[in-house]
Chains A and B, each alone.
Chain A
Amino acid sequence: MSAMAAVARGQHWRADFPALHQSVHGRPLVYLDSAASAQQPAAVIDAVAKYHREDHSNVHRGVHELSGRATEAYEGARDKVETFINASSRNEVVLTSGTTESINLVAQSFCRPRLHPGDKIVISHLEHHANIVPWQMVCEQTGAELAVAPINDRGEIELERMLELIDDKTFIVAVAHVSNALGTVCPIDRIIKHAKARGIPVLLDGAQGVPHLDIDVQAIGCDFYAFSAHKMFGPTGTGVLWGREELLDAMPPWQGGGDMILEVSFDKTIYNELPYKFEAGTPNISGAVGLGAAIDYLQGIGMANVAAYEQDLHDYMVAELRKIPGMRLFGAANHKASVQSFLLDDIHSHDIGTILDHQGVAVRTGHHCAMPVMQRFGIPGTARASLALYNNREDVDRLVAALIKAKEIFA
């Protein structure tokens, strides 16, 4: 796709997102915080509203019409996820409240019953807290140990060091597909190949992968893939744990309650089948409806087109940011997606954030739920601009102009 054509595509998609068409502090909004939470297209907002207006009821329970419609909508979303990530069966798609719950589910249901003191869980230094703390908790519960692969100055996992850590004491490897703080696309192929050769399962934190890359879990070859709807233009409070069926099948339920059972008596409860075994209680039905609509929207565009467009825009953003004197970029991996962390002169990231906000430019500031990354670079936090398919070069130009204004104020 040529640069001109790419710009035109971005403008076209932008029109689909109502929240982008407003002024903030008197300036047209430039939303560069999609890695925290992406805006929703009208198709998602309308699908959720239609569900609430016309189809809402509880799922899997009633014999009446609305319960049927709600069930169809909820299970329809599962089918869409199955196709979207190329799962081999709908039984492999567990609907959760988000990436965080998905990872906790694996830590508590897959790992906790089997971990022994001295077993190792291998992660990397660039993980989001959601892919650190659940493992620390299960280590505390079982006596297992957390091993952390280092990252280099470009914000890339030091692959050889990580592969060395993955040995016969390793129980599971958990790594980000794409780093939320640095934008690094991690070398998952090599990690998975190395782990598989030793029979070690691999979980990918895909929260930042799914919105930007074409995901085929079978081709990737991992064992678990966790992601959230709200990073991919769907609602908050909804996400997915994909797991290989034989692994999920062997796992005990995580939470008990309604919907995850076949039969309950005080003598014995028989658990439901996959994937319902892991979905206790009334689920986030409207969230799943929104997730399904977001998948329809993305598939209408095609993830390959999204990735190509964003890569072009990301490269433009990095090149433009580099031109600003006093700019320090954090995250310069050879393979990156969507995100750029930075600091300007010695201005604290929160001051950058406030000055940008005042000019209608929304960025994230602080540690981005990745405190170890900040410690690695010896900084309290960064400002982070993150792109989505609805951003364009004008957004980047507005960001640059706002940063120059910040320099003027702090000159």
Chain B
Amino acid sequence: MSRQAGELRDLYRELILDHARSPRHFGRLDGATHAAAGINPLCGDKLNLYVRVSDDGTIESTQFEGSGCAISMASASLLADAMTGVPVDEAEACVSEITSRLTTERPEQAISTRLEKLVALDGVREYPSRVKCATLAWHALHAALTNDPVPATTE
């Protein structure tokens, strides 16, 4: 089935391009309590995600470094933005929400308030080969929070 010409802009929305060009929270995080790698070897997407969790179980800060396509970099940048100040158990719920949102066909689905900006990634659902780029950082977050020593991958 053919897509309309405008749909490419649906994937590469301004917010995505903006975050890909100038990723927020980029770089190593000093004092990180949790860290994990996310690697998609076939793609070449590669990132390290750092999280600092306070004693009361709240994510104080999230940073990442790495290289990859616009979708993977923007997703990681948006993640780092959205996860600051979030309790760990809620962060895990966000991982589930985003990964299921991007892998199911429910465009009208409501999104949690703290993930509002992530609707910018919705266009990815139309590009099955690119969903793995969008979910990589989220799988890395899950790996970091569960202290999984194995790098996350979505390929």
* Interface residues in chain A, defined as those with a beta carbon under 8 Å from any beta carbon in chain B: 23, 25-27, 347-351, 354-355, 358, 366-367, 374, 380-381, 409-410
Known: A26-B2, A350-B130, A367-B44. Is A409-B8 also a contact (CB below 8 A)?
A: yes
Within the complex, the shortest CB–CB distance from B39 to chain A, in Å, comes to: 11
Please give the distance in Å from B26's CB to the nearest CB on chain A: 15
Interface residues of B in 1-46 (CB under 8 A from A): 2-5, 7-9, 11-12, 17, 42-46
Determine if B112 is an interface residue (Cβ-Cβ < 8 Å). no
The interface residues of chain A lying within 8 Å CB-to-CB of B42 are 366-367
Name A369's closest neighbour in chain B (CB-CB). Answer: B42
CA distance A15 to B5 in the complex (A): 28
Count, chain B residues at interface, CB 8 A: 24
Asked if residues A351 and B69 are in contact (CB atoms below 8 Å), the reply is: yes
Q: Which residues of chain A come closer than 8 Å to B130, judged between CB atoms?
A: 350, 354
Are A381 and B44 in touch, CB under 8 angstroms? Answer: yes
Q: Name B9's closest neighbour in chain A (CB-CB).
A: A409
Question: Which residues of chain B come closer than 8 Å to A410, judged between CB atoms?
Answer: 12, 17, 70
| A25 in contact with B44 (CB, 8 Å) | no
Q: Is the CB of B46 within 8 A of A380?
A: yes
Q: Cβ of A25: which chain B residues have Cβ within 8 Å of it?
A: 2-3
Chosen A-B contacts, 27 in total, with CB atoms closer than 8 Å, are A25-B2, A26-B2, A26-B5, A347-B70, A348-B44, A348-B68, A348-B70, A349-B69, A350-B43, A350-B44, A350-B45, A350-B69, A350-B71, A350-B130, A350-B133, A351-B69, A351-B71, A354-B129, A354-B130, A358-B8, A366-B42, A366-B43, A366-B44, A380-B46, A381-B43, A409-B9, A410-B12
Alpha-carbon distance between A188 and B69 when the two chains are bound, in angstroms: 37
A348 touches B8 (CB 8 A): no
Q: Are A354 and B46 in contact (CB under 8 A)?
A: no
Which chain A residue shows the least CB distance to B7? A358
Q: A366: which B residues are within 8 A, CB to CB?
A: 42-44
In the assembled complex, the Cα of A374 lies from the Cα of B41 at a distance in Å of 13
Interface of chain A, main secondary structure: mixed
CA distance A381 to B133 in the complex (A): 15
- Give the docked Cα–Cα distance between A225 and B11 (Å): 45
Chain B residue nearest to A24 (CB atoms) is B2
Closest partner residue, chain B, to A27 (CB atom):
B2
Residue-wise, chain B 80-118 has the 8 Å CB interface mask toward A (1 for contact) of 000000000000000000000000000000000000000
Q: Report the number of A-B residue pairs with Cβ-Cβ less than 8 Å.
A: 54
Q: Say how far A262's CB is from chain B's closest CB, in angstroms.
A: 44
Question: Is B67's CB within 8 Å of the partner chain A?
Answer: yes
A348, A367, A380 — most chain B CB neighbours (10 Å):
A348
Give CA–CA (A380, B11) in the complex, Å: 22
Asked if residues B67 and A380 are in contact (CB atoms below 8 Å), the reply is yes
For the complex, what is the distance from the CA of A351 to the CA of B8, rounded to whole Å? Answer: 11
Q: How far is the CA of A367 from the CA of B133 in the complex (A)?
A: 16
Residue of B at shortest CB range from A355?
B8
Query: Which residue of A26, A354, A380 contacts B44 across the interface (Cβ within 8 Å)?
Result: A380
Bound complex: CA A105 to CA B112 (Å): 56
Inter-chain contact A409/B12, CB cutoff 8 Å: yes
A317 to B7, CA, bound (A): 28
- Residues on the A chain within 8 Å of B8, using CB: 355, 358, 409
Find the A residue at minimum CB distance from B70: A351
- Whole-angstrom distance from the CB of A410 to the nearest CB of chain B? 7
Tell me which residues across on chain B come within 8 A of A27, comparing CB atoms: 2
Residues from chain B with Cβ under 8 Å of A367 in the complex: 42, 44
A195–B2 Cα gap in the complex (Å)?
A: 54
Closest beta carbon of chain A to B153's beta carbon, Å: 15
Chain A residues with CB below 8 A from B45, complex form: 350
- The CA of A10 and the CA of B90, in the complex, are separated in Å by 59
Given contacts A348-B70, A351-B70, A366-B42, contact A26 B3 (CB under 8 A): yes
Apart from A349-B69, A354-B129, what are 17 other A-B pairs with CB-CB below 8 Å? A23-B2, A26-B2, A348-B70, A350-B71, A350-B133, A351-B69, A355-B12, A358-B7, A366-B43, A380-B44, A380-B67, A380-B68, A381-B43, A381-B44, A409-B9, A409-B17, A410-B17
Complex: how many Å from CA A381 to CA B45? Answer: 10
Residue of A nearest to B17 (CB): A410
Report the Cα distance A26→B133, complex, angstroms. 25
CB distance from A3 to the nearest CB of B (A): 32
What is the minimal beta-carbon distance from B7 to any residue of chain A, in angstroms? 7
Contacts of A355 in B (CB 8 A): 8, 12
Across the A-B interface, the 10 shortest Cβ-Cβ residue pairs? A26-B2, A380-B44, A348-B69, A350-B69, A381-B44, A358-B8, A351-B70, A351-B69, A409-B12, A25-B3
Chain B proximity of A343: nearest CB distance (Å) = 12
Shortest A129–chain B CB gap in Å is: 12
Closest to B126 in A: A358
Instruction: State A236–B53 Cα separation when bound (angstroms).
Output: 51
* Chain B residues with CB below 8 A from A23, complex form: 2
Shortest A12–chain B CB gap in Å is: 28
